[in-house]
Structure 1
Amino acid sequence: MSKLRHVNTRLGIIIFTAAAFIQPMAGLAQTQPEKPQKIVMNDSGGATQAANKKTFYDAFEQKYGIKVQTTSPVDLGKLRAMVQAGNIEWTVTEIAGPDAVLAERSGLLEPLDLSVIDLSKFPEHLRNRKYVFPKSAYSTIIGYRSDVFKDGKGPQNWKDFWDVKKFPGPRTMQNSPIENLEFALLADGVEPDKLYPLDVDRAFKKMNEIKPHIAAWWTTGAQSAQLLVDQEAVIGTAWNGRYYSLVKEGAPIAMVWNQGAIKESAFGIPKGAKDAYWGQRLLALVADAKLQGAYANIIGYPGLNLEATQYTDPKIVPYLPTSPENLPKQFWVNLEWWSDNRAAIQERWARWLLE
């Protein structure tokens, strides 16, 4: 497998052009149904769920008097089984990475009611979403121990990450081909705007070079940054919010935004959800700039409402992937490309780890 099928369109490339005028989707206006006692929100749990509750879920409960019951984890297979059986347990669900593309293509989601959900302040390419709600953005970036590499003299890009002579010490990376193959190609000299379609053979060849220096392949967000805190690694990758939560507690970790991989976290309403009317109204609150600012203040992940930074603590803005300073340094992960090619590459990745 060399260059796999290229998909020109993608979920994540921010293009700032003339403002778009949103037309409400025809046929979605509904008469208010009877209020249920609760709706069910399925998300990824942990710190993200706690931040969601303190902002979006609590605001929904206060506004409508309807309890938001949370469940986790996020599971595309379970979503598909629910929809196919016509037995929908969730009102709204988080959808991770390429699964958002698959969920939409597979007809597993209700259309968004854009007469209720205001996306007019979101990036241009997100304003006319039909099924997938663009909830927030997060990045996988380089982090290093600032007490090992002092005065900002740690690795500044993926070429440096691969340079074990100039920057010695054990590394950690996620146990996933997604993003790691992009990082390998960047380390090998590919320009960020030339990454897709990925040259998979070239990427795995480059991964062979760094593999002996990976002390641990992390599988959870909590594990990723903690490996640096515990000094099992001196350089690694993690989601920006995981680094931020430790940095604000005083951990000696430096965050490197250059060549970071930025992605969109999404929500969707399962097809046939009985309380979809109220799910639309929850998403409307999730789109609110003030609530998104409060969310970023808690967890370090920004919403995609471009006005949210006005309501974000200025001390936190430098730690957000969408800040004016950080965003241009990064590339958007092409989730549609990964949706098309993930299965085959995941199998190859599993074999490669055992080699």
Structure 2
Amino acid sequence: MRKLRNIVAIAITAALASTVAYAADNKLVMASWGGIFKDTTQKFIAAPFEKAMNATVEIADVGGGWAAKIQAQKAAGNVQWDIIDSIDAGSAEYLYKNGMVAALPADLAAKLKAVSIPGTVTEYGIEEGSTGVVIACRKDVKCPTTSAEFFDAKAFPGARAIVNEPNQVLPFAALAAGVPKDKLFPVDLDKAFALLNGIKSEVSVWPTSGDQQQQVLRSGEVDMAIMWNGRAYDLTQKGTPLTLVWNGALLDPGYIVVLKDAPNKDLAFKYLEYYATHAQQQADWAKVLPYGMASKDVAGLLPKEIADALPSSHETVKIDPAWFAEHQAEIGKRWQEFLAAAQ
């Protein structure tokens, strides 16, 4: 009898261990920009994925600065995330070329490309949340109509915010300095920094997250900003009247990527496949934040006013991620030195 009880106890212990292991295997940890971005991903992509896969998706508020944070995790031998939700193109390319973002398996890449807009699937990810970098102004101020005018504080007075993302700000400033669109890359860093130095006394805030971009405009702390189109659109929908200026705007592709040392890489790749093959979920996401998505069918699933707010409905200059990946160290050093002097 005692032997039987021991056998039963061992069986129960093994079953419990198996259940715990299964639960751990079916948990995905995703790094996100936070705020409305995180909430939208959770509601329209992650939650239905959890239900379909009997999985758990934990979303961490990170807010950007991807390259430095992932390098630090790798150096410590403790990669905590499986997926990054809409990493900017320059950071994605840099991390991939430096062995920190995984290549897509060939069969998965073929599935993603079959249902996606040409060019939205790379060796390492699929577009989600591709961002228009635009000028946004409160309705009660004189708003610049071009990127060059944003840097003319005498003609267009007011407190300013500029997003703390050098891969977006430096080409924006170079265009404003008069560099032709077809000659933007390689970016003339000297021209870009010279223009930024001329306006830095008028810049009250260098927001490090989408939430902060929204907060400083909502509160009236600043009158105008260089910011992300989706965050500006969300503000207008929640009662802060804004003017959005697309003249001189940039397009910074965002990608869902899987980290090379991800704790649960197989489930992470399944998440990418789920996202790619569910156009309605992508469309529902874009109704909240009108950023560019990957599916060929998304535009047809959106109301006209939302489709018109997408970056694809405007003339933009696309960021060259390969150039930023090659010059990441120089850009990071100069940007930090500039910010230290500006603040």
TM-score higher than 0.5 here?
yes
Match runs of 1:287-298 below 5 Å: 287=276, 288-298=278-288
> Aligned residues, how many?
314
2:140 aligned with 1:140: no
CA gap of 1:229–1:83, structure 2 versus 1, over 3 A, is closer
- Write the distance in 2 (CA, Å) between the matches of 1:169 and 1:230: 14
CA gap of 1:350–1:252, structure 2 versus 1, over 3 A, is same
Q: Which residue does the alignment assign to 1:259? A: 248
Kindly indicate whether the alpha-carbon contact (under 8 Å) linking 2:32 and 2:60 is maintained by their aligned counterparts in 1: yes
2:88 aligned with 1:100: no
* One-letter amino acid of the counterpart of residue 112, structure 2: D
Kindly indicate whether the alpha-carbon contact (under 8 Å) linking 1:109 and 1:270 is maintained by their aligned counterparts in 2: yes
Q: Which residue does the alignment assign to 1:316? A: 306
- Structure 2 residue corresponding to 1:174, chosen from 153, 163, 166: 163
User: How much identity, in percent, do the aligned residues show?
Assistant: 28
Match runs of 1:14-163 below 5 Å: 36-73=25-62, 75-77=66-68, 79-80=70-71, 89-94=80-85, 95-116=87-108, 117-127=111-121, 129-149=122-142, 154-163=143-152
Give the deviation of 1:274 after TM superposition. 5.2
Kindly indicate whether the alpha-carbon contact (under 8 Å) linking 1:137 and 1:322 is maintained by their aligned counterparts in 2: no
Query: Which structure is higher in helix share?
Result: 2
Q: Which residue does the alignment assign to 2:3? A: none
Q: Which residue does the alignment assign to 2:330? A: 344
Q: Which residue does the alignment assign to 1:28? A: none
Larger Rg: 2
Q: Which runs of no fewer than 5 residues in structure 2 stay unpaired?
A: 1-21
Q: Give a deviation string over 1:143-193, Cα, whole Å, max 9, x none.
A: 1122223xxxx3221122123333222222123433332222222222212
SS, match of residue 115 in structure 1? helix
Give the deviation of 1:262 after TM superposition. 1.2
- Write the distance in 1 (CA, Å) between the matches of 2:145 and 2:295: 29
Q: Which residue does the alignment assign to 1:23? A: none
Give the deviation of 1:196 after TM superposition. 1.0
- Write the distance in 1 (CA, Å) between the matches of 2:95 and 2:331: 20
CA gap of 1:114–1:217, structure 2 versus 1, over 3 A, is same
- Write the distance in 1 (CA, Å) between the matches of 2:99 and 2:273: 22
Give the deviation of 1:352 after TM superposition. 3.2
2:281 aligned with 1:284: no
Question: TM (normalized to structure 2)?
Answer: 0.81
SS, match of residue 195 in structure 2? helix
Give the deviation of 1:121 after TM superposition. 4.1
Q: Which residue does the alignment assign to 1:214? A: 203
Kindly indicate whether the alpha-carbon contact (under 8 Å) linking 1:292 and 1:302 is maintained by their aligned counterparts in 2: no
Q: Which residue does the alignment assign to 1:14? A: none
Q: Which moved more, 1:82-91 or 1:267-276?
A: 82-91
CA gap of 1:67–1:177, structure 2 versus 1, over 3 A, is closer
RMSD over aligned CA atoms reads 2.6
Q: Which residue does the alignment assign to 1:307? A: 297
Match runs of 1:192-207 below 5 Å: 192-207=181-196
- Write the distance in 2 (CA, Å) between the matches of 1:81 and 1:348: 20
Q: Which runs of no fewer than 5 residues in structure 1 stay unpaired?
A: 1-33
SS, match of residue 120 in structure 1? helix
SS, match of residue 281 in structure 1? helix
* One-letter amino acid of the counterpart of residue 49, structure 1: K
- Structure 1 residue corresponding to 2:321, chosen from 318, 332, 335: 335
2:236 aligned with 1:236: no
Give the deviation of 1:70 after TM superposition. 2.3
CA gap of 1:61–1:177, structure 2 versus 1, over 3 A, is closer
CA gap of 1:275–1:246, structure 2 versus 1, over 3 A, is same
